[in-house]
Amino acid sequence: MLASFLITLREGLEAFLLVGIILAYLRKLGAERYSDWIYAGVGAGLVASVGAAFVFQFVVSQFHSEYYRTLLMIVILLFAALVLSYMAVWMGKQAKAHTEEVKRQLEGYVSAGNVMGMVMLAFIAVLREGIETVLFFSALMYSGQGVTLQQGVIGALAGLFAAVLLVWVLMRGTRRLPLQPFFRYSALLIIIIAAGLLGSSVNMMQSAELITVGTQPLFDISHILSDQGFIGTFLRALFGYNSSPTPVQFSAWAVYLIIAITMWRRTYARPA
């Protein structure tokens, strides 16, 4: 539940913060009369995101063969890990430039009276994060990390509510909240979650006999911290913890973390 909360909070904060910036910039331009069109774009983006979730689940349900379902889940896990990694690094490098580009586009739409352009600006901002959330949510469900549908939904809704509340406070408050530390360290947590998804995908590949080497456990520390106990289940759901990983699974997890954390440190060491 914590993993889905964190991802939805992060994704929702990105989307709604951008929408809040758009609304604030409209006020700065003296074009508040167009605010309803922005809200229309947000609503359409939310509806389209929910629709994408239903379509995604429908496509997955069409795979009656357990083997092909496993292959699809492996692809989902790998793609989710890749996108999570890109998102964690991208936020530190391109967020400010992206915001400035959105402002330039909005100014052009206001000058031309292009309301559909404004609607699409808000629509794409919400839909992009919504589709990413659907992908990550599905990956958590299929990863075998002990995340149930009910836990995932509760965590996702809580994260979405927290994102809306935080953006409202930011837009209504007189003081600027330090968002940079939040994005910095939430990016690190997301990288660790992505590492767990990658490890789970390797485990599935070995179960499906796509990888036939290194299938015996590298070590077993279940007597110290089992991944079936209370703490172990929590760590497995959040980070993909495995008390008896295979050599291939552990190596993929460790190498990914070394590379991703190195990139993360370099990204956030640069001046904003």
CA distance 261 to 264: 5
pLDDT of residue 272: 45
Q: What single DSSP character describes residue 194?
A: H
Distance CA(41)–CA(189), nearest Å, equals 30
Q: What is the pLDDT of residue 165?
A: 84
Within 8 A by CB and 6+ apart from 118, the residues are 22, 34, 37, 38, 41, 106, 109, 110
pTM: 0.72
- Cβ-count burial 3-16 (b if 16+ within 10 Å, e if not): bbbbbbbbbbbbbb
Q: What's the gap between Cα 39 and its chain centre? A: 23
Tens of pLDDT, residue by residue, the chain (272 residues): 666 777 788 778 778 888 888 888 888 888 889 999 999 999 999 899 888 888 877 777 777 777 888 888 888 888 888 888 887 776 656 666 667 788 888 889 998 889 999 999 899 888 888 887 877 777 777 665 555 667 667 877 888 888 888 877 777 764 565 667 777 777 888 888 888 889 888 988 998 889 888 889 898 898 888 887 778 777 776 677 888 899 999 999 999 999 989 988 887 765 44
Identity at 184, one-letter amino acid code: R
The angle subtended at Cα 47 by Cα 46 and Cα 48, nearest 5°, is 90
Residues in the chain: 272
H helix count then E strand count, the chain:
8, 0
- The SS3 assignment for 218 reads coil
What total of structural domains would you count in the chain?
Answer: 1
DSSP labels, 28-46: HTT-GGGHHHHHHHHHHHH
- pLDDT of 205 reads 92
Tokens of 28: 């700065």
DSSP letters of 121-155?
HHHHHHHHHHHHHHHHHHHHHHTTSS--HHHHHHH
Supply the range of the domain harboring residue 166.
2-269
Which residue type does 49 have?
S
Amino acid (one-letter) located at 93: K
Q: What is the pLDDT of residue 90?
A: 66
